[in-house]
Every structure is written in structure tokens, then in C-alpha cells.
Amino acid sequence: MLFSELGLSAKVLSAVEAAGYSTPTPIQAEAIPHALEKRDVLGIAQTGTGKTASFVLPMLTLLEKGRARARMPRSLILEPTRELAAQVAESFTKYGLDQKLNVALLIGGMSFDEQDRKIDRGADVLIATPGRLLDHFERGRLLMTGVEILVIDEADRMLDMGFIPDIERICKMLPFTRQTLFFSATMPPEITRLTEQFLQNPVRVEVAKASSAALTVEQRLVATQREDWEKRETLRKLIRAEDEITNAIIFCNRKIDVASLFRSLTRHGFSVGALHGDMDQRARMAMLHNFRENKIQLLVASDVAARGLDIPAVSHVFNFDVPIHAEDYVHRIGRTGRAGRSGKAFTLVSRSDTKYLDAIQKMLGNDLGWLDDKDLSQLPAPEAFDKDQGERGGRRGSSSRRGGSGRGRERDSRRSNGRGDGGQAPVRAESRADVEETEATTTSLVSGQSSHSRRASANHQPRAGRGQRQSDDQPSPLGFGEDVPAFMMIGTGL
């Protein structure tokens, strides 16, 4: 089947051909004709199958006739994250070249005034995250009674992020006669209940089993010890062993681990960036732009990058942490192997991750293979490893006192027996200024701090507080230690 057979308008077909596409993906071939008939659609497909175009293209066709009025959008698209919303806006720019449709983007981290001006001009397409949309509505800047088409994208991600109450509230603001297009990669019970509540006799389009992984992705498990320095060393060996990496996303469960791993990979000479939800919007967009343009090869990220981001050339995904929610595994590895390309996904697994691994394999319906057939049973016994770690701990105090050059280096040298991060040969001590500059650069990339804040942070030297140890080698104080307040001595005779 060709795009020309789906019933799209001539302007849309011209834009699709200019973009280099002629054959629709399965989800597009099944969803677009029903959407053009103005029927409600429930689309279920794994990530990377072209869900965005399956609602953007018919919307462009349906909205060609008509005109938007001030503060009354004609259509509404809800996205869980700012990056996804911005990506959908880019799709309208790409496929709406020959049309004069006004597109307004309402996301956090951007100016309210600028967004208000776009709404006042009249928006044919309003793309928003739920929180920012409700902010504008409560300020009296939006009237939702003119919405003809509603799109709820990445609904399962909305559930994970706690947006379902907001979605329910927004849906009640819209006309009952609207058309609703609902897309999700997985269908947990809460999402099923939502579709039953807000969709009218929908056409169900399902091109892959819910919670299934893309067949174009080669998946492998990698056994590793639980300790961070061991995992970092294992990850570096994996990256260096893969000769075909064009670029890769490395997923961590926590934002603090994103910062730590980014710092470690930077020290070891990798081309790396970081992305997580605490970064300001401009820093996040700049980081994604640099990654798309191949200015950085590796992107260490939290699950903010796991859903829907279209970066076609990602060749590898590394799960530094096993995802806590099994569905997140599908979305993470779906960042590679997109648009028919092949990809590889490696997941680092320790003994403490077996519960989460079992949940992933149960969801997928099959066991994932271990790299080089080396599973967790071939790791050193926990007792032996703990003893070895104790020996490392006995030496690390002298190592940090001899060669410490900055708080970050002392911390990592103690963890790895004074051999640098990951047990390599000793590293020449750097100057204090070099270390402070590295820490400031890391902070600016990961958290978007201002230069003034970075200078203040670099000049600040923490002091041990009352009752605290001066170093990790000293025993923990009991109670108040030697600094017992005077009022505690009253009545003791001391």
C-alpha cells in the first residue's frame, strides 16, 4: 500500500513525498483511513512504528478547511513530556509546508507571554503537556469549546507520570462530539478504563502485541557486580568492544546516577552528554540537538528520553540500571532499531536485579540471552566479593590521603583502590583548578547552573560539622561524640 491510497489531501501527499516517504508503516496504513472518516481510533503499537505520523497526517488533511478563532483551538494534542510535544510540533512543520495552519506549543520552561500571544492569534493545532495546558486554562487564556480533534499520545507514559486525573479533567472540558485519537504502546487496566470512558465506539488498531519489543533489536543481558565502580567498568568495556556504535543512549533509574555516570565517562575520554528532568528546558533541547547532530556520541539519560523521542540513527541502548517497571524496558530499547534499522540493547544485571529482570521476561514471554553465555551464577560468590571489598576498604584511606586531588577524585579513588575509576593504572594527580573546572563543567551540563553559581560552588570548601568524621577512615561518633551540649549535663554532676 502507498500513501496515495490512504485518502490524504494533495498538499499532505506532496509534503510526505518531499520528506522521502512513499510506503506507510502498518500502524499508519490502518489508522489513517479511519481517522479521515472522523472515527475514534485506539492505536496500540510498540515504539518506533510511526505513531506520530498516523495522527499528524490525517489531522493536516482534516484541518485544511476552516479557520481558528482567538483563544479557541481547533484541535488538541496532549503529550507527557516537553521533548515529545516539541517533536510533534516539528512534525507539523515538516508535513505542513504548503498549509497555513497555526501551531501553538504549550510546555513548561518557556515564557507564558509568548505562548499567550500564539493562542490569541488563533491555533489550528494546540500541542501541550497537561500541566501547562491547565495553567493557561485557569488563567482564562483558553476556551476549549471549539476543539474538534483530541489526540492523547503515549497514554501509558501519562499513567506513569500521574497525569491521568489531569487527562480526565481536560476531557470533560471538551465538546462531547469531538473526535478522539488515542495511542499507547501498552494497555494496563487503568488505560483501558480511560478509553472506555472517553472514546465513542473506537476502531481498535493493534499492529503488535502490547508490551512487545521490536524484532529489529538484538537484546543481551550482561552480568555485573552491584557496586557502582564495577558497573561503570563493565559498561566501558562494553562500549569499547562495540565497534559499530554510531551513537548510543545509556539509561539510569535515578537522576543522581545520570550525573555520576556522566562524570565518570567524561573522565575516561568518551564523547558524552546528559539528560534528565531537572535540567532547564533550553539545556535539554540543546543536549538533544547536539546528540541528533552527532556532536556527542553517548547520551546518559533518565527515562525522560525513553518515550517517543525520534532519533533514527541510535545504534545501541545500554541499560546501566535494570528498569523498575517492566514496560519501561520496551520503551528504552525502542530508542534503537527504529524505522526498519537494526539495533543492539545491553542490560547490566546484578544479583539484586533478578526481581525486575523476571518481571521483564515474564512480560515479554521469553528469556533474554546472556552476553557470551555468562550469567549471574558465574560471578564471584557474594561472600568472597565482600571480603575483597573489605581489603580494598582497608587500603583506600592511605591512597586517598596520598594522592587525593579534589573531592570527586578522592571519592572515586577510594572506591577503586586508588587505581582510578574502574581499576586501571594510577592516574597522575591533577591540579586543584583542573578538578574544579571539571566539576563546574559537569554541573553546568547536568543541571543547567549559571556561571556565577558554578564559581560559588567551586570556591566553597565544606567543613566537618559537629560530631561528624573528618574522613571515612575514622570511626562513627556515638551520640554527640565529644561535643555534648551544656544543657545535657544539668543534674549529672559533671
Task: Note the pLDDT of residue 185.
Answer: 78
List pLDDT tens digits, range 117-175: 999 999 999 999 999 999 999 999 999 999 999 999 989 888 878 899 999 999 999 99
Q: Are 3 and 23 in contact (CB under 8 A)?
A: yes
Per-residue confidence (pLDDT) for residue 161, from 0 to 100 = 83
Residues of the chain short of pLDDT 50, as ranges, are 384-478
Q: Which fold has domain 217-379?
A: Rossmann fold (3.40.50)
Looking at residue 493, what is its pLDDT?
A: 52
End-to-end CA distance of the chain: 92
Look at residues 157, 177, 178, 158 and name the one whose alpha carbon lies nearest to residue 166. 158
Which residue do the cell numbers 474538534 mark?
Answer: 148
Q: Check the CA dihedral 119-124-127-130 and report its sign.
A: positive
298: three-class secondary structure by DSSP: strand
Tell me what pLDDT residue 208 has. Answer: 63
Residue 67 pLDDT:
86
Q: Phi/psi at 72 (nearest 5 deg)?
A: -125, 85
pLDDT for the residue 214: 66
pLDDT of residue 490: 61
Matching fold, domains 3-206 and 217-379: yes
Q: How far is CA 288 from the centre of its chain?
A: 11
pLDDT of residue 460: 41
- The alpha-helical segments, DSSP class H, found in 293-353 are 326-333
Q: How many CB atoms lie within 10 A of CB 473?
A: 14
Distance, CA of 52 to CA of 212 (rounded, Å): 19
Helix 10-18 to helix 82-95 angle (10° resolution) is 110
Which pLDDT score, from 0 to 100, does residue 60 have?
Answer: 96
Give one word for 308, left, alpha or beta, with left for phi > 0 and alpha for psi -120 to 50: left
Q: Quick one: CATH architecture of 3-206?
A: 3-Layer(aba) Sandwich (3.40)
Other C-beta atoms closer than 10 Å to the C-beta of 430 total 14
CB of 249 closer than 8 Å to CB of 313: no
Residue 481 per-residue DSSP state: T
Give me the DSSP letters along 165-215.
HHHHHHHHHS-TT-EEEEEES---HHHHHHHHHH-SSPEEEESS-TT---T
Residues 170, 171, 176, 181: what is their CA dihedral angle, to the nearest 10 degrees? 130
Question: What is the C-alpha to C-alpha distance for residues 231 and 416, in angstroms, rounded to an integer?
Answer: 12
Q: Which helix (H) or strand (E) holds 228?
A: helix 228-241
Residue 160 is predicted with a pLDDT of 79
- What is each CA distance from 64 to 6, 48, 68, 118, 310, in whole angstroms? 17, 27, 11, 19, 26
The full 3-state SS of 440-458, as one line of letters, equals HHHHHHHHCCCHHHHHHHH
pLDDT one-digit tens code per residue, 281-319: 778 888 888 898 889 999 999 887 666 566 767 899 999
- Domain ranges across the chain: 3-206, 217-379, 384-457
